[in-house]
Structure 1
Amino acid sequence: MKRLETLFVALNGWALIVMLSAMTLIVGANITLRYATSHSLPWADEAARYLMIWMTFSGAGLILRTGGHVAITNLQDALPHRGQQMLRGAIALGLLLFFGFMVYVGVQYADRMQYQVTPAMRIPYLYVYAAMPIGFGLLILHLLLIARDFITAGTYKRRDDDQPAPDVLPGGANG
C-alpha cells in the first residue's frame, strides 16, 4: 500500500511538472514569436489559461497532504487532546463530504459544457471543466491517505520524505 501511495504522489507531482513545463514553453514561444516576428500564436493564451486551471485543481491534493492550505488552529489549540482529535475528525469528514459534492457538481457542469468549444483551440469545454471533478477526486484520495495520521496526531506528510510533519510550524505559522 505504501508503494502505491508513493507512486500515486509521484505521478501527481510529475503531471504538475509536465503541465507547468508545457505552459512555460507555450508562453515563452509566444513571447519570442511576438517580438521576433510581430506575430503570436492565437491559441497560446487560451492553452496557458487552461493549463493553469488544471494545475490548480490537480495540485490542491498535494498541498493538502503537506498541510499547505490556510488553517486557523485557535479552537483546536484550546481543546484538550481528545477534543482536538474529535474536531480534526469532524473537519476530515466535512472535507470528504464537500469534496464529494464538488465531484458531483463538477461532473454535471462538465457534462453540460461538452458541446461548447473553446474559441481559439476549438476543443470541447468538457476537457477544461473536467479539471474540477478530477481535482476534487484527487483531493479525496490524498485526504483518505493522510486522514488517520491527521486525525489521531494532527500531523501531515512531509514534502521531503514519508515521515509525518507537525501541523504547526515554528513561530506559530500554520503549514
Structure 2
Amino acid sequence: MKLLLTVHDGISRAGFILGCMALGAIVCIYAFEVISRYAFGAPTIWASDFVSFLLLISVFATAPWLTREGGHVAVTIVPDLLPAVRDLVLRVGFLMAAGVCLWASWICFEENIYLYNRGTSTLTTVRIPKWILSAFITYGLLNTGLYFLRLTFGASPKETQNG
C-alpha cells in the first residue's frame, strides 16, 4: 500500500510541476503578445487560445498536489466551533469532498470517451481535440478525490490541516 501511495504522490508531484510550467508559459505568452501587439503592431492569433488551454491545465494539474498539502479551500468555522468533534467533522467533510470529486471525475471520464469517439475539437483559432483538455479535468478531479479519501482515512486531520 505504501508503494501505491508513493506512486500517487509522484504522479501528483509531476502534475504540480507541469501546472507550474503551464503558468510560466502563460506569463511568457502574454509578454510576447503584448510586445507583438504594441511594439510591432502585429498581434498574434494564437496567444489567447493557448493561454486558455494552459490555464485549464495549470488548475487541474496542480489541484491534487495542493489538496495533498492542505492548500485547498477550507471553510473551518463548524469544526472550529465544535472542538470536541473537530476530527469527525473534518473527516466527514473530506469524505463528502472525495465523493463529489470522484463522481465528477467519472462524469468527465465518460465525456472524454464521448469527445474522443466523436472527434470533437475546440472552437478556437487553434483547434485541438477537446478530449485532451477534458483529460486534465478528469485527472485533477480523480486525484483530488483520492487525496480527500486519504485525508478521510489517514492521519488525524489536525496533523494535515491548519487550524
Q: TM-score of the superposition, structure 2-length normalised?
A: 0.79
Q: Deviations over 1:105-142 (max 9, x none)?
A: 11223333342222211211111222211111221233
Q: Identify the structure with the greater helix proportion.
A: 2
Give yes or no for the alignment of 1:101 onto 2:103.
yes
**Secondary structure at 2:132's aligned position in 1?**
helix
In 2 relative to 1, CA 80–32 (structure 1 residues): closer, same or farther, beyond 3 Å? closer
**Secondary structure at 1:113's aligned position in 2?**
helix
Assess if the C-alpha contact under 8 Å between 2:94 and 2:151 holds in 1: no
In 2 relative to 1, CA 99–38 (structure 1 residues): closer, same or farther, beyond 3 Å? same
Aligned position for 1:15: 18
* 1:110 aligned partner, one-letter code: N
Give yes or no for the alignment of 1:32 onto 2:35.
yes
Aligned position for 1:68: 71
Give yes or no for the alignment of 1:126 onto 2:128.
no
**Aligned with 1:139 (options 141, 144, 153):** 144
Aligned position for 1:58: 61
In structure 2, C-alpha distance between the alignment counterparts of 1:92 and 1:39, rounded to whole Å: 49
* 1:112 aligned partner, one-letter code: Y
Assess if the C-alpha contact under 8 Å between 1:58 and 1:138 holds in 2: no
Q: CA deviation at 1:52?
A: 0.4
Assess if the C-alpha contact under 8 Å between 1:42 and 1:120 holds in 2: yes
Q: TM-score of the superposition, structure 1-length normalised?
A: 0.75
Assess if the C-alpha contact under 8 Å between 1:58 and 1:135 holds in 2: yes
Unmatched 5+ stretches in structure 1 = 157-165, 169-175
Aligned position for 1:167: 162
Assess if the C-alpha contact under 8 Å between 1:88 and 1:154 holds in 2: no
**Secondary structure at 2:39's aligned position in 1?**
helix
Unmatched 5+ stretches in structure 2 = none
* 1:104 aligned partner, one-letter code: W
In structure 1, C-alpha distance between the alignment counterparts of 2:12 and 2:130, rounded to whole Å: 27
Give yes or no for the alignment of 1:116 onto 2:120.
yes
**Percent of pairs with identical residues:** 19
Assess if the C-alpha contact under 8 Å between 1:57 and 1:135 holds in 2: yes
**Secondary structure at 1:67's aligned position in 2?**
coil
Aligned position for 1:172: none
* 2:133 aligned partner, one-letter code: V
Alignment RMSD (CA, Å): 2.4
Assess if the C-alpha contact under 8 Å between 1:61 and 1:143 holds in 2: no
In structure 2, C-alpha distance between the alignment counterparts of 1:89 and 1:120, rounded to whole Å: 45
